[in-house]
Structure 1
Amino acid sequence: MKNRLFLIVAMVIFSLGYSQSTIENALTEIAKNNKTIQANTQYWNAQKVQYKTGNSLYNPTVEYDYLKGSPANAGNQTDIVVTQSFDFPTVYGKKNQLSDQLGIQADLQLKMVNQELLLEAKKICIELVYRNKLQVPLTKRKEATEKWLANFRKKLSTGDGTILDVNKAEIQLLEIKKQFQDNISIIAKLNEQLTSLNGGTAINLTDVVYFDIPAIPNFETLEKEIEEQDYIRKTLEQEKLIAQKQIDVSKALALPKMELGYHYQGILGQTYNGIHTGISLPLWESRNTVKLQKAKMTFAESTLTDHTNEHYYEIKQLYGRYESLKGILNDYEKINQSVEPIKLLDKALSAGQISVLEYFVELNYYNTTFNSYLEIEKEYYEVVATLLKYQL
């Protein structure tokens, strides 16, 4: 009996009433309504504006001096100086290149954060589908046990049953009711989490199907696709490029600054006016800045290398788990689906072929095994969702 139950454990899954999955719709709504995504979008857009500031000319300077002469016949002196300071001309081009790269990094940071949030939401959806699927057999188990309990009580009242059978059914029903209520509570909590992620707009996911899985290529091909779309790697590569641009800016800032302007002077009834020029000598202000930026670039290169290695083995482990779970689920799909184990048990109990104790032992064995199947299926979709995160 146990072997037969194990072989047909997956059949109930195909008898559930499926509806079209709305996980994709939920993710679309969350991407549109999530407050964190909205805040991050505003923040990084503001950062991009900030990156563009500070690359214009310095504010012009106007100086005015009025000096009284002494003794009285010495005359008074008036000086007016208008100056405009500016960096060495190559600095502005280097700063523009740096701000462009910082803007690209801002876009990558936004996409990376949003992708992680959507993956979190997708995993909640997967957990919800699992709980919804589990609720179907829990409901059937509860109704069936209530039916048997009523039957045993009736037999006891007519003298055809025993109090032991009633007690076994009551204990069984108590455990099933606990599982039933716990699962309902978890479903409500998960829907609340989705609603929170959706910016407070209610989402109630009642599906009992997951999502369509596209054809997943071999590990080498998939790993290459993931790496090409890995926003963490792209961000680290961008940090390396930014460090190089910062080195270029630091070198350019080490060149002399200049100022150009107009100078007017009036003294003893005579006036003088002409061009004012100046230059700063880069002796101390930019000291060690290039060395600092080179150290940052070395750190960025090291971090990128570490991430690439760690990410490769993370993908490899996930892919191995994916293949393992896929094989287990394929084995279940090959199982004969023509007979319902619970119906077999019900018939055997009604015909007196097995005792009430044997009935509930076999039923619990089947239920436990079927629950394990649902958990394996859920984990399979979680692994697939993680592998395909780069598509979010």
Structure 2
Amino acid sequence: MKINSIALLVACLWVANAEAQSGLETILTDISKNNKTLQSQSKYWEAQKLQFKTGNTLYDPTISYDYMRGTPSAVAGNQTDISVIQRFDFPTVYGKKKNLANEKSKQGDFALLATKQDILLEAKKSAIELIYRNKLQEKIKERKTKTEKFLSDFQTKLNRGEGNILDVNKAKLQLIEINKDLKLNTSSINQLQQKLTELNGGIDVIFNESEYPEVIAIPSFEELEEIIEAQDPTRKLLQQQTTIAQQQIQVTKAMALPKFEAGYHYQGILGQNFHGARIGMSIPLWENKNRVKQSMAELEMNEVQLNEHKVEHYYNIKSLYEKYTNLQKTLDEYQTVLESINSIQLLDKALRFGEITTIQYFLEASYYYQASNNYLLTEKEYQDVIAELLKYQL
């Protein structure tokens, strides 16, 4: 029953996330098809799976022919020997090798999925930062337009003899800072577009979104942690490597059993012919010494790595979840304050009626714009941490 409830929750999160992220998901789908690293890894694991299946057949048969002249030939005659030999391992080895190859092939799927999730998370976070940069670009342009109007008004008043040069100079300095921010942000947007294009295998990606996908409801930490652990490809890969190590021990033990050879032997000497079956067996004394101990040591190492990952992954999820809840609270506080104070409108009114100076206006406005920028950055960090928590869906 518990497994069914988890599966239902996973399905609900998948559906909600797909509906909320249609635009972003299109880019991620393209990247999953076009990314060169994923294509390379896919080909690599195809080759590895073929290699895993290699070596589980019989040894190549051996054919030998000997012709020896006797001395003196009249007495000794000539001797001819022909041998056809087929060597093979103990019969149980082949079944164990097949099981080992099957288990090794499974790890490729987990490794490929882990790589895919890393790449798609990088792409998703790049897209999230691009949305943040696009939103910031709009804010900077608004400030630029407003400051340019201030500068024009101050210059007009100065030309009529009604203003002062300090207001003009202050507006010019503000405009220089705004233009600098605009150029830096534009450069960041271009770099992020290039990053998405690179991840898309060099195929151009144009992503002009300035609104984040709708945030889906995140379950409690306990539920989410259980879902993530159940879906974690790295954990599955480490578990698979442990299984492989166990199978390797079985193969190693089986390889320590005697090997056999069977064949046909013909001998001709002094006009007489001899032929018949040939049977042989190896005596396992030295060839596999310490190999079982080595396989046991590798199994212990894999078990330690698995346990290490479980602990590390748990606390990483816990840290991300705590960051998520804290950012959610901070974001709510920013939204409440910024929506209620209307600082720029109040400052515009105060400046218009001469209640504050231009220097005071720009100083107070800078506080508001800094808070607004911090809000946008917090919003971006909030989306980042959600992307990391939902990485298992990629």
Q: What is the TM-score when the length of structure 2 is the normalising length?
A: 0.92
1:333 is displaced (CA, Å) by: 4.1
8 Å contact from structure 1 (residues 30, 197) kept in 2: yes
Structural mapping, 1:324-339, within 5 Å: 324-334=326-336, 337=339
Matched, 1:59 2:60: yes
Aligned to 2:44: 43
CA distance in 1, matches of 2:338, 2:285: 85
- CA distance in 1: counterparts of 2:259 and 2:385, whole angstroms: 57
**Matched AA of 2:391:** K
For 2:229 and 2:182, how far apart are their aligned partners in 1?
A: 43
Aligned to 1:359: 361
Aligned position for 1:389: 391
Deviation at 1:358, TM superposition (A): 1.7
2:156 to 154, 169, 172: 154
Note the alpha carbon deviations across 1:203-224, whole angstroms, 9 max, x for none: 1211012223332110111001
Q: CA deviation at 1:337?
A: 4.0
Gaps in structure 2 of 5+ consecutive residues: 1-19
CA distance in 1, matches of 2:108, 2:338: 54
- Of the three residues 190, 205, 214, the one matched with 2:207 is 205
Quick check: 1:21–1:209 contact (8 Å CA) kept in 2?
Answer: no
Task: Give the match for residue 185 of structure 1.
Answer: 187
CA distance in 2, matches of 1:386, 1:191: 21
Once the two structures are TM-superposed, the CA of residue 20 in structure 1 deviates from its matched residue by 8.2
Give, in whole Å, the separation in 1 of the partners of 2:21 and 2:60.
63
The 5 A counterparts of 1:264-279 are 264-279=266-281
Please tell me the residue identity of whatever aligns with 2:143.
R
2:29 equivalent in structure 1:
28
**2:69 aligned residue:** 68
Pair 1:21–1:340, CA change in 2 (3 A): farther
Question: What SS is found at the alignment partner of 1:138?
Answer: helix
**1:293-332 mapped onto 2 (5 Å cutoff):** 293-332=295-334
Whole-angstrom distance in 2 between the partners of 1:45 and 1:53: 13
Aligned to 2:259: 257
Does 2:137 correspond to 1:165? no
Q: Is the 8 A contact 2:52 2:105 kept in 1?
A: yes
Q: Which of 86, 89, 94 lines up with 1:92 in the alignment? A: 94
| Deviation sequence 1:362-388 (CA, Å, 0-9, x none) | 211110000000000000011011111
Once the two structures are TM-superposed, the CA of residue 335 in structure 1 deviates from its matched residue by 5.0
* CA deviation profile, 1:214-244 (whole Å, cap 9, x unmatched): 3211011100111111111111111111111
C-alpha distance in structure 2 between counterparts of 1:281 and 1:381, whole Å? 65
Code of the residue aligned with 1:162 in structure 2: it is: N
Deviations 1:63-99 (A, max 9, x none): 1011112222232111110011000011111111111
Deviations 1:107-141 (A, max 9, x none): 11111111111111111111111000100010000
Partners of 2:289 and 2:214 in 1: CA distance: 59
Q: Is the 8 A contact 1:98 1:245 kept in 2?
A: yes
Larger RCO, structure (CA 8 Å, separation 6 or more): 1
Compute the RMSD of aligned alpha carbons: 1.6
The count of residues paired between Structure 1 and Structure 2 equals 374
Amino acid paired to 1:138: I
Asked if 1 retains the 8 angstrom alpha-carbon contact of 2:338 and 2:372, the reply is no
Q: Is the 8 A contact 2:31 2:200 kept in 1?
A: yes
CA contact under 8 A between 2:143 and 2:178: conserved in structure 1?
Answer: yes
Question: What is the letter of the counterpart of residue 86 of structure 1?
Answer: F
Instruction: Give the secondary-structure state (helix, strand or coil) at the position aligned to 1:208.
Output: coil
Shifted more, 278-287 versus 351-360: the winner is 351-360
Amino acid across the alignment from 2:208: T
Q: Which amino acid aligns with 2:41?
A: N
| Preserved contact between residue 61 and residue 84 of structure 1 (Cα < 8 Å) | yes
User: Is the contact made by 1:20 and 1:209 (CA closer than 8 Å) also made in structure 2?
Assistant: no
SS in 2 for 1:294: helix
Gapped regions of structure 1 (runs ≥ 5): 1-18
* Inter-partner Cα distance in structure 1 for 2:370 and 2:169: 21
AA at the equivalent of 1:243: A
